[in-house]
Structure 1
Amino acid sequence: MKRVDSPSGLSPKEPAPTRQRILEAARVEFAAYGLAGARIDRIARNASASKERLYAYYRHKADLFSAVLELNLIEFASAVEQGAGESLPEFAGALYDHSVAHPEYLRMIDWANLEGQDSINPPLALIEDFHAERVRAVIALQAGGSVDASWDPDHLNALVFGIVSCWIHEPAAALAADRAPDPATVAARRASAVRAVERLIG
């Protein structure tokens, strides 16, 4: 994914240890409480950092939220692209694996949608860049004959993401979010998501 300047000031390089701890603590806090409910003092305490140090990196809570969203997207794109393989079902499988390993990423996106762009200043350039890459990937698969060319690439990408993320948002699963599903359930859900995408494009 192409690198762009960060509106939140997050360095493209590996953050310093204190900054990394702040980002990790903020990720947990924001995933649980959103922007409005998150507490800066709790983030600082869980990061073993002072509030003054935190504010030296991020002047406003919204800046920190945006920085975590940006870091999530960078890590998400790297992890999913590495495991995506050459087909859309394989991409769906990689997407599912990541959503299971890191449910906090999708939770933060949910919070971001609730909070609104004016409040959080999301990293739109990175989001648009990743989206464009996924559209190009679908177009290439259509040109190669493995995906029905009648699909709108934009719509197909949205459907694939929806199929995979349904396990996070499905009511029973959402209510049991604090209890990790057993490995057999995880494998069965993954297989269902991959099979659904196979049928979608078949």
Structure 2
Amino acid sequence: MAVRDPEATKARIFDAAVAEFARHGIAGARIDRIAAQAKANKQLIYAYYGNKSDLFTHVLGRCMVDLAAAVPIDPDDIDGWMDRLLDYHAAHPELLRLLFWEGVEYGTDELPDEPARQAHYARKVAALRDGQERGVITDAMPARDLMFLLVALAGWGAAVPQMRRILVGSADSDGEHLRSSIREAARRLAAPRT
């Protein structure tokens, strides 16, 4: 008789849900496919995570926590932070796809976990604001705007790889030229006023 391992089952469901949502979005994802990929029954998915929207919120929330833990913001080393962010997105393109699908689904409507997400980003913005107060990065714009611009710089190429290929071309297949340009743009955006 096989021994049940609820944590292993949850992990398989989570991994299958990440892949399904990244590929098909919230509306296009199917619990049947997640269950088949995870080798679990649908009832377990509902028992562990609730409905499909709840599962998506859980998946994206955990992916965001993983990113925050792996790549903490460092206003004293914007170049290094951008490199780590670019590396993370290259290794985990599903995160930006999940954020893209969330934007398609919710638009400007409030997200189910918006207060928690705001608190998450408030801590990052506070780190940038601290860098502004210490004079290591610019105070020419609000820290929240700077955060938005830096995150956009780091993520856009991975979020829309077709535009990266069209604009940058396949000659930059290793991405070093574009990475260098992104670092330079981030450096200029964040540079303290003289």
Q: Does 1:192 align with 2:181?
A: yes
Q: Does 1:125 align with 2:115?
A: yes
Match of residue 37 from structure 1: 28
The answer to whether the 8 A contact 2:20-2:29 is kept is: yes
Distance 1:166 1:121, change over 3 A: closer
Residue 185 of structure 1 aligns to a residue whose secondary structure is: coil
Residue segments in structure 1 that go unaligned for 5+ positions in a row: 1-14
Query: Which TM-score applies when normalising by structure 2?
Result: 0.83
Equivalent pairs, count: 183
Match of residue 5 from structure 1: none
Match of residue 68 from structure 2: 77
Matches within 5 A, 1:166-181: 166-170=156-160, 172-173=162-163
Distance 1:168 1:86, change over 3 A: same
Residue segments in structure 2 that go unaligned for 5+ positions in a row: 1-5
The answer to whether the 8 A contact 2:138-2:189 is kept is: no
Q: What is the percent sequence identity of the aligned residues?
A: 32
Distance of 1:190 and 1:33 partners within structure 2: 29
Matching residue's letter, 1:123: D
Query: Which TM-score applies when normalising by structure 1?
Result: 0.80
Residue 139 of structure 2 aligns to a residue whose secondary structure is: coil
Distance 1:118 1:169, change over 3 A: closer
TM superposition shift of 1:184: 5.9
Decide which structure has the larger Cα Rg and report it: 2
Distance of 2:26 and 2:10 partners within structure 1: 19
The answer to whether the 8 A contact 2:93-2:159 is kept is: no
Distance of 1:70 and 1:172 partners within structure 2: 26
Residue 98 of structure 1 aligns to a residue whose secondary structure is: helix
- Runs of 4+ aligned residues of structure 1 deviating over 4 Å after TM superposition are 117-121, 173-176, 181-184
Matches within 5 A, 1:1-202: 16-81=7-72, 84=74, 86-116=76-106, 121-170=111-160, 172-173=162-163, 185-202=174-191
148-157 vs 39-48, which moves further: 148-157
Residue 71 of structure 2 aligns to a residue whose secondary structure is: helix
The answer to whether the 8 A contact 1:22-1:43 is kept is: yes
Residue 145 of structure 2 aligns to a residue whose secondary structure is: helix
Matching residue's letter, 1:141: G
